Amino acid sequence: MKPAAMAALRLLGGVILAGLVWEGAVVAFGIRPHLLPRLSDILTAIAFTPGAYWAGLQRTAAETLIGFAAGTAVGILNGLVFFRAPLLRDMLLPVFIVSQTIPVIAFGALVVMWFGNTLLAKAVIAFYLTFFPVTVNTLLGLNSVDPKQVALLRSFGATPRQILLRLQLPMALPQIFVALRLGASLSLVGAIVGEWFGDNTGIGVLLLQAMYNENVEALWAAILCAALLGTAFYALVAWAERRIVFWGVEQ
Amino acid sequence: MNRRHLLAATGAAAATPFIRPAGAQTLVRASLRLKWLTQAQFAGFYVAHQKGYYRETGIDLTINPGGPNLLTENLVASGADTFGLSGGTDSVFAARERSLPIVCAGVMHQQTPFVFVARADGPIRTLADFRGKTITTWFTGANFVLLGMLAQAGLNRGDFTMQPQQVSVQPFVDRQIDVVTATRYNEFFTLMSRVGRENLRVFVPDDHGITFPRDTVIVSEQTARDRPQMVQGFLRATIRGWRDVLADNKAGVDAVMSVAPTLNRPHQEFMLVEAGKLMVAGGAARNGLFWIDRPVIQAAHDFFRQHEVIKTPLDLAAAFNSSFLEALPVADRMA
Amino acid sequence: MPKPPSPLLELRGLSKRFGAVQALDSFGLDVQPGEFVTVVGPSGCGKSTLFNIVAGLDEPDDGGILRFKGRGCHARELLGQVSFMPQRDLLLPWRNVVDNAILANEIEGANRREARAKALSMLPEFGLAGFESQYPHQLSGGMRQRVALMRTFLFERELMLLDEPFGALDALTRSMMQRWLLDVWQRHRRTILFITHDVDEAIFLGDRVVVMTARPGAVKLMREVNLPRPRAPELLTAPEFTAIKREVLDAIEEEAMKSFISGTGAAP
């Protein structure tokens, strides 16, 4: 059997074991359902209206991915611009920092006024939480390139553009990926929080409805969906990191 | 394609939006912001929407749920939403005092939706027994209902402990507090299912002369002034939806659960029954659904003035506009 | 040896000051085409400053003369004109051996396929046969250094600047690399300016050894190494070699003492 298949099998075994421990603990210790329901009850709740959870998962995933992609693109671009134009960096970076001190709840209320209950509005909140760490880490990564390395390329007659594309940007990738892993989690949080501002579909909507109706099984069902989505997305980013930054943190 | 053909094609494409089926030409886009998450307490709006009643009155309506972080009055005043189902008469007062340009065009719940719940086997038997006890409530309106009700028994703010109530009623279930606030259609259901109806003692504000009508339909002053026809049409369609729901609760719950399938059906059915009772109570019995009962609203206003929740008297004639309702025949408004 | 009329590189009265620090002071040196010149000196004597100027990375202070191929020029005009190898290999971790070796050629716009083919054909000579697809983190220190040298050789310029290329290697690897370098140099006949801390290495490799003074850097001693080539390891113990070494060491000792005393503040 291939090592990847073995790893997947081990993971599956671990998940099943954790599920059994959960189920067993709730029954054995008589934990009251409003503190922690049985896993089987939660899965039953999902099986009862699978369409709602599937639609919520898709919608939230779309919001997260759009916000994350935009945050990554703008973050890297910001990092590049700030790296090349320190004056602009000194002018704008403090503004960005201030923007990040706005609680996401307050920002969400504004976004609803601007964009209404659209997919875009949620993506904007996911974007808002993602672009800043990516900006900062891109700048950090670009600035941390060994000056001797730059000098070597200059001695070969490299133009600033060649130095950027062949040296600085690839060298900044490990640092950028640190922010992307963080952004993967944050963009999901942003999308879910965005759904708390009045919408019909999404994991955040399911969470809110379950919470305020004190429907504990539905609450845990929504939490499971969020965890599933968050884990899958994080794993995707981590996989991309291993493929792209295969040399690791060697330098 | 030569240039002339291209131009002709472009012209045709540009003209397309104007060539619409007759009757749909006057459809106006509008949105309704609910005061809370999608639930059976809003069934009438969903039924009217799904049965096309709003379209028939020329409105292409989007229903936006509310939530814990949204203030309907702000969204309507800023123009983000056309119609709003706002918290209550007290929310309208507060918004008008802040000079938000909103107008109330109808009131959904004629009675106070809040009740105060104690243990049947506990020490609280009358309002006077609230003295020295710990009560949790919401500081978004329910707190004034409580103060008003206890004032009837001669209790003042310092005579009991009033704490903000969290999302869950569990502290009451676990006997950590003496009295909990519940809406008749939401928390009360949870309390019944966890403690049992027979183990609860319920204090109803309206039994003690405190009536705060709640769930007000609001529009911006600009909408009220410039598009009275649309407001009338909205109310006509809404009342039509609610009449259907009150005649057939099951269809109402179905309509809501088609939008939010994970809701608990027994709870939603209970909610709709309770919400229906609040809608047909008081002045609505004589004047129809969404009636603006001016004497009751005046009394609520005076109560808030007396407790200095409102610093200056408000122009209630301007804040509550019955003209849209009155444009509809009374027979059409009766439940 | 009769001197040809036109040196490849001429430095006269070259000075460089960084703030309060005078790194170079009236440094002068001629390098003939095909010559292997080694530079030794105490730590911090301005060897790297000298190299940065010749590589085009730093401008010398006004007043000195810098001539390359008989033409006076600014240091920056030398960017892309000399083949520079810094102390560390500075390989790019995401490029395999071949792609690291052709980095400089890629930057000057060479056809990538042709550059790769040429690099592949040079691999055996650099002891890297079969390693073309390996990444730097999979290589030993000696191999990485050879990849860096290959990158320097592939960037075909008349003047090569090698800044302590074997400094980080163990003694055994280092002496093998020295002989290998001489071998490669004799076949390719480039002009080499080579910085080292190691006096044996400087004499063993060079046609000429330049000893620099303690800071500010200037020429303390210029010593011809008139030992026959090709040179074998036994040369290191030959009396002619030891004589030169004595002379070079004396000069370095004197400078090292000066910088030690001024460093500790023991001298008036």
Residues of C in contact with A157 (CB under 8 A): 79-81, 107-108
The whole-angstrom distance between A100's CA and the closest CA on chain B is 19
Predicted confidence at residue B118, as pLDDT, reads 95
Q: State which of B101-110, C17-26, C36-45, C149-158 shows the largest mean pLDDT.
A: B101-110
pLDDT score, position B309 = 82
Report how far residue A154's alpha carbon sits from residue B137's, in angstroms, rounded to the nearest whole number: 70
Neighbours of chain A (3+ CB pairs under 8 A): B, C
Question: Is residue C180 over pLDDT 80?
Answer: yes
Please give the share of chain B, as a percent, with pLDDT higher than 70: 93
Strand partners, B180: B117, B136
- The whole-angstrom distance between A23's CA and the closest CA on chain B is 22
- Joined tokens for residue A226: 């969020």
Confidence of residue B30 (pLDDT cuts 50, 70, 90): very high
Per-residue pLDDT at B16: 41
List the domain range (segments joined by +) for residue A155. Answer: 39-244
Q: What is the largest CA-CA distance in chain A?
A: 74
Q: What is the pLDDT of residue B5?
A: 47
Helix axes A104-115, A169-194, angle to 10 degrees: 80
Choice among B138-142, C23-27, C42-46 with the minimum mean pLDDT: C42-46
ipTM: 0.87
Write the class of the CATH domain B26-111+212-333.
alpha beta
Q: With cut-offs at 50, 70 and 90, classify the pLDDT of residue C20.
A: confident
The answer, yes or no, to whether residue C265 has pLDDT greater than 70, is no
C:134-163 residues touching chain A, CB 8 A cutoff: 135-137, 155
pLDDT number for residue C139: 93
List CB contacts (< 8 A) between B66 and chain A: 198
The predicted-structure confidence for A37-90, as pLDDT tens digits, reads as follows 999 999 999 999 999 999 999 999 999 999 999 999 999 999 999 999 999 999
The pLDDT value given to residue B20: 43
pLDDT value of residue B35: 92
Number of Cβ pairs closer than 8 Å across A and C?
59
Predicted pLDDT of residue A233? 95
Alpha helices in chain B (DSSP H): 3-15, 43-50, 53-56, 72-77, 89-97, 142-152, 170-173, 187-195, 221-226, 228-247, 249-259, 265-280, 284-287, 294-306, 316-319, 323-326, 330-333
CATH number of residue A59's parent domain: 1.10.3720.10
Which pLDDT value is given to residue A167? Answer: 96
Per-residue pLDDT band at C246 (split at 50, 70, 90): very high
Q: Which residues of C touch A158 (CB under 8 A)?
A: 107
The model's pLDDT over B237-260, given as tens digits with 9 standing for 90+, comes to 999 999 999 999 999 999 999 999
Residue A186 has pLDDT above 90, yes or no: yes
Mean pLDDT of chain A: 91
Dist. CA B293–CA B282, nearest whole Å: 8
Per-residue HEC secondary structure of A107-134 comes to HHHHHHHHHCCCHHHHHHHHHHHHHHHH
Residue A26 C-alpha, separation from nearest chain B C-alpha, in angstroms: 19
Q: Is 70 exceeded by the pLDDT of residue B15?
A: no
Its CATH architecture, for the domain B114-208, is 3-Layer(aba) Sandwich (3.40)
CA B109 to chain centre: 7
- pLDDT > 50? residue C162: yes
Highest mean pLDDT: which of A1-10, B305-314, C79-88?
A: C79-88
Put simply, whether C191 touches A (Cβ < 8 Å) is: no
Contacts of B167 in chain A (CB under 8 A): 211-212, 214
- The Cα C176–Cα C142 span in angstroms is 10
Q: pLDDT tens digit string along B298-331?
A: 999 998 888 788 888 999 999 999 999 999 999 8
Q: Which residues of A touch C90 (CB under 8 A)?
A: 146, 148-149, 152
Interface test with A, best of C68, C76, C90, C163 (most A CBs within 10 A): C90
Mean pLDDT in residue range B137-165: 89
Alpha-carbon gap: A121 to the closest alpha carbon of chain C (Å): 38
φ/ψ region of C70 (left if φ > 0, alpha if ψ in -120 to 50, else beta) reads left
Q: With a cut of 50, say whether residue A193 has pLDDT above it.
A: yes
Q: A154 vs C135: CB contact, 8 Å cut-off?
A: no
Give me the pLDDT at residue A220, please.
94
Nearest to C90 among A152, A245, A247 (CB): A152
What is the chain A residue with the closest CA to C75?
Answer: A155
Inside any domain, residue A122: yes
Q: So what's the pLDDT on residue B304?
A: 87
A189 has a pLDDT exceeding 50: yes
What pLDDT, on a 0 to 100 scale, did the predictor assign at position C266? 44
| Residue % of chain C over a pLDDT of 90 | 58
User: Chain B partners of A113 at a C-beta cutoff of 8 Å?
Assistant: 74-75, 78, 80
Q: Label the pairing between strands C83-85 and C71-72.
A: unpaired
Per-residue confidence at A1, pLDDT binned at 50, 70, 90?
A: low
> Does residue C103 sit at the A interface (CB-CB below 8 Å)?
yes
**Residue-wise over A206-231: b if at least 16 C-beta within 10 A, else e?**
bbbbbbbbbbbbbbbbbebbbeebbe
pLDDT the model gives residue A227: 94
Ranges of each domain in chain B? 26-111+212-333, 114-208
- State how far the Cα of A152 lies from the Cα of A156, in Å rounded to an integer: 7
Beta bridge partners of C16: C24
- Residues above pLDDT 90, as percent of chain B: 70
Name residue A7's beta-bridge partners: none
Looking at the complex, report in whole angstroms how far the Cα of residue A88 sits from the nearest Cα belonging to chain C.
Answer: 27
Per-residue confidence (pLDDT) for residue C175, from 0 to 100: 87
Are C107 and A154 a contacting pair at CB < 8 A?
no
CA atoms within 13 A on the CB side of C240: 11
**Within 10 A of C237 (CB to CB), how many other CB atoms are there?**
8
Residue C93: list chain A partners with CB under 8 A.
247, 250-251
Q: Cβ C107–A157 below 8 Å, yes or no?
A: yes
The closest of B124, B188, B132 to B159, measured between CA atoms, is: B132
Backbone φ/ψ region at C95: left (φ over 0), alpha (ψ -120 to 50), beta: beta
Does A29 fall in a domain? no
The residue extents of the domains of chain C are: 83-156
Per-residue pLDDT for B231 more than 60? Answer: yes
Using one digit for the tens of pLDDT, what is the confidence trace for A112-157?
A: 888 888 899 999 999 999 999 999 999 999 999 999 999 999 999 9
From A152's Cα to the closest Cα of chain C, the distance in A is: 7
Using CB atoms, pick whichever of A158, A170, A247 lies closest to residue C137. A247
Per-residue pLDDT, C232: 87
With pLDDT > 70 as the criterion, what percentage of chain C qualifies?
96
Tally of CA atoms within 13 A in the half-sphere of C259 that contains its CB: 17
Q: Which residues on chain B are in Cβ contact (under 8 Å) with A198? A: 33-34, 64-67, 70
Q: How far is A89 from chain C (nearest CA, A)?
A: 26
Residue A25 within any structural domain of the chain: no
The minimal CB distance from A198 to the residues B33, B39, B267 is found for B33
Residue-wise pLDDT for B264-308, tens only, equals 899 999 999 999 999 999 888 889 999 999 999 999 999 888 878
What are the tens digits of pLDDT across the range B169-225? Answer: 989 999 999 999 999 998 999 999 889 999 999 999 999 988 889 999 999 999 999
- E-assigned strand segments in C19-115: 21-31, 36-40, 65-68, 71-72, 83-85
Chains adjacent to B (≥3 CB pairs closer than 8 angstroms): A
Contacts of A170 in chain C (CB under 8 A): 92, 94
The total domain count for chain A is 1
Predicted local confidence at residue A249, as pLDDT? 54
Query: What pLDDT does residue C2 have?
Result: 53
C176 in contact with A, Cβ within 8 Å: no
Of A109, A117, A212, nearest to B64 by CB-CB distance is: A117
